[in-house]
Amino acid sequence: MRLLDYKRRPRVMVVAHGHPYERDPFMRMFEAFPEAEPFIVEHPVAPKLLNPAGVEDVDAIVFYDMPGGSPRDGPGYYVDPPEDFKTGFLELLDQGKPMVFLHHAIGGWPSWEEYSELLGGKLIHFPDVVRGKHLPDGGYRQNVTYDLSAVDAAHPIFEGLPSSFSIEDEAYLFDVFEDSIEPLVRSSFPAVSENFYSLALAVTGTMDSNEGWSRPQGSQIVGWTKKARNSQIVYLQAGHGPSAYANPHYARLLHNAIKWVIAQNNAPRPTG
């Protein structure tokens, strides 16, 4: 593994697109992080770089993408990841590359089952099989004000933060693989289908509706850490739009997560 050069700020590559977002306010959140040197790479260029050679001088990668297809394309939109991308991505995890995944990245490659297992959860836009179970499409609810609370306020990712803070953002009703993650953040917004709208209805033209749709109760866990091969990763469900980007507590949570994965993945490892 390449050792960090602490004479410079860590370089943080932000991978985006495959889902609409407001680029300028989003990147301002990273540019306000004095302890890192962020830059953005969007699809379709990003997959060509996501391999050990392409990001050799990158200290951490933040994924804010959903490249498995555009939901606006309707049912069957899922796009399989290119084989060379899969190979490069898995090699990065084997190397221990620090990674943070935000918001819609949990639905990044819905047809690639291993990707969801590596991340620790999955968001589906249409009825699908998740871990062997046939499940309805996931849910969303925009412009919700709720609280994010630390599972363990002493965790370094909550350094300098209150144990609970309010945020206005988009919430998801999605699948969290609680048996394979270390919970980090809980949401106060009840994860029941009555509080959400159907993603399949939204994608096919009926926004903000849950008519004829229901889903099993979800998890209140909306942020976690996880070992993915040799990488310690972080997932944070919050982060949909400018109201979240401008929240100083959310920005600090993200900045802390980046610092934490860099520190974890560059810590000395046992030998022998």
pLDDT tens digit string along 54-74? 999 999 999 999 988 555 555
Query: Side chain identity at 262, as an amino acid letter?
Result: I
Q: Phi/psi of residue 125, each to 5°?
A: -90, -15
* Residue at 155: amino acid letter: H
> Using the 8-state DSSP alphabet, how is residue 173 labeled?
E
3-state secondary structure of 96: coil
Which pLDDT does position 217 carry in this prediction?
Answer: 96
Q: Does 1 score more than 50 pLDDT?
A: no
Per residue in 146-171, pLDDT (tens digit) is 999 999 999 999 999 999 999 999 99
Domains delineated in the chain: 11-265 (3.40.50.880)
Alpha-carbon distances of 79 from 1, 42, 111, 112, 205, rounded to whole Å: 32, 17, 7, 9, 20
* d(C-alpha 228, C-alpha 125), whole Å: 24
The pLDDT of residue 7 is 62
> How far is the C-alpha of 183 from the C-alpha of 166, rounded, in Å?
19
How confident is the model over 84-126, as pLDDT tens digits?
999 999 999 999 999 999 999 999 999 999 999 999 999 999 9
The distance between the two most distant Cα atoms of the chain, rounded to a whole number of Å, is 58
Higher-confidence position of 78 and 202:
202
DSSP state of 161: S
pLDDT in tens, 9-20: 899 999 998 888
Phi (first) and psi of residue 71, to 5 degrees: -55, -25
